Amino acid sequence: MDIAQQVPQHPRVRDVLADQCQRLFFEYLESFDENEKKTMIDELSQPQRSTVLINYRHLSNFNDRLSRVIQDEYYRLLPSLSRGLKQFFREHIPKIDIEAEKLERFKRTVLNDKELYVAFSDVQMRYKLRNLNTSKMGMLIRITGQVIRTYPVHPELVSATFIC
């Protein structure tokens, strides 16, 4: 008897807000000029890079409503923003004038299997570390605080050989 047959299949519900934000974020990326697009491609074609840094104020100037929704629902929308970023590169790679070698490396590394992430700089909402509470969970915020003490980390065992 197969257990999977007994589990009721529920229809998947689309997140309309996430889809709209993905589309608007795609439009925001389209508003970049050619040099900004080339810079993003150069950064992401490096194997160790997988994050695009977006200036939050620039996004806010482009679409204030989108920036506020991202700020309030950041954790929920992050996968959609990453999908929008990947979709943007899939559609705009042929249109960007770039060296053939860089283009092939980008297609091979980024578009096939590399996960892309979006990070934001210059976020307006700033909270002190001591003032954080659960109401801020899932939001895009900037945290300020001061490190009072640090402890050096020393490994107890660097290498060892055991003989029975």
Q: How many domains does the chain contain in total? A: 1
Residue 158 lies in a domain: no
Range of the domain at 27: 15-144
pLDDT score, position 67? 95
pLDDT score, position 22? 95
pLDDT score, position 54? 94
Range with the poorest average pLDDT among 11-15, 63-67, 84-88, 154-158: 154-158
**Who has greater pLDDT, 137 or 11?**
137
Beta carbons within 8 Å of 105's beta carbon, 6+ residues apart = 45
Residue 37 lies in a domain: yes
Which of 147, 115, 156, 116 has the alpha carbon at shortest distance from 129?
147
Residue 115 lies in a domain: yes
Q: Is the pLDDT of residue 100 over 80?
A: no
Pairwise CA distance, residues 59 & 67, whole Å: 6
Residue 133 lies in a domain: yes
Q: Is the pLDDT of residue 87 over 60?
A: yes
Which pLDDT band, with edges at 50, 70 and 90, does 1 fall under?
A: low
Residue 139 lies in a domain: yes
pLDDT score, position 21? 95
Pairwise CA distance, residues 24 & 84, whole Å: 9
pLDDT in tens, 35-45: 888 888 777 77
Domain harbouring 79, CATH code: 3.30.1640.10
Residue 3 lies in a domain: no
Q: Which segments of 5-153 are extended strands (E)? A: 51-55, 117-121, 126-128, 142-144
pLDDT in tens, 103-159: 677 666 666 677 889 999 999 889 998 888 999 999 999 988 887 877 777 777 666
Residue 28 lies in a domain: yes
Global confidence as pTM? 0.74
pLDDT score, position 5? 66
pLDDT score, position 88? 86
Pairwise CA distance, residues 140 & 118, whole Å: 12
Residue 163 lies in a domain: no
Cα distances (angstroms) measured from residue 154 to each of 151, 157, 164: 9, 9, 28
Q: Is the pLDDT of residue 80 over 90?
A: yes
